[in-house]
């Protein structure tokens, strides 16, 4: 079984990095396949992804994210893209798919705990159609793991967020982000 999971994981990584416009594999296919091989990582296994001597931005961010997860005593699942998510309340029904109309509440923060945005604090949920808005890649993937009524913590490396550009004056370049999210409605 372990060997089968490894083979599937290698195939999915190949698909996700080898897919070019014009072939038949879509981002939807890759995210759907990710759901099948994602692995919940307990705190003792977390350091398998830790770099002893991080050289790149991605390696440093992976270490920062792991430190954050351990400090917060989270037990997330790590997708093959490096996105970490933890469903804190399971919803009902079908998982979110592209084209679904969603209503979510969220609180976004930096890994130091400073909140940069919150629909909860504004008391105004965010409504959008998945796949037709300018969402960060981490949200596009993370929302796909949710069902209506789900609550989730999402930890997003900058390469799946705003990368080197940052966002407005709120989020600097190359910032990993954390989101507490609730899927209020799925139509």
Show which residues are catalytic.
106, 116-117, 136, 162, 179
For residue 88, what are its two tokens? Answer: 């804190």
Q: Which of 184, 183, 162 is nearest to 174 (CA)?
A: 162
> What secondary structure letter does DSSP report for 133?
S
How far apart CA 33 and CA 141 sit, in angstroms, is 11
Q: Which helix (H) or strand (E) holds 147?
A: strand 147-148
Q: Which residues contact 100 (CB under 8 A, 6 or more apart)?
A: 129, 130, 186, 187
């Amino acid at each position: 079984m372990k060997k089968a999971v490894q083979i599937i994981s290698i195939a999915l990584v190949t698909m996700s990095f080898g897919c070019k416009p014009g072939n038949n594999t879509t981002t939807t296919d890759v995210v759907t396949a990710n759901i099948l091989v994602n692995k919940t990582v307990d705190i003792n296994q977390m350091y398998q992804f830790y770099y002893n001597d991080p050289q790149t931005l991605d390696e440093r961010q992976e270490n920062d994210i792991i430190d954050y997860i351990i400090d917060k005593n989270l037990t997330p699942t790590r997708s093959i893209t490096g996105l970490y998510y933890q469903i804190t309340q399971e919803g009902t029904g079908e998982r979110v798919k592209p084209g679904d109309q969603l209503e979510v509440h969220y609180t976004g923060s930096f890994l130091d705990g400073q909140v940069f945005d919150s629909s909860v604090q504004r008391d105004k949920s965010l409504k959008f159609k998945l796949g037709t808005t300018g969402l960060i890649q981490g949200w596009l993937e993370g929302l796909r793991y949710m069902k209506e009524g789900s609550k989730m913590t999402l930890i997003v490396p900058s390469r799946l967020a705003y990368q080197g550009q940052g966002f407005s004056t709120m989020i600097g370049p190359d910032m990993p982000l954390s989101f507490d999210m609730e899927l209020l409605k799925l139509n």
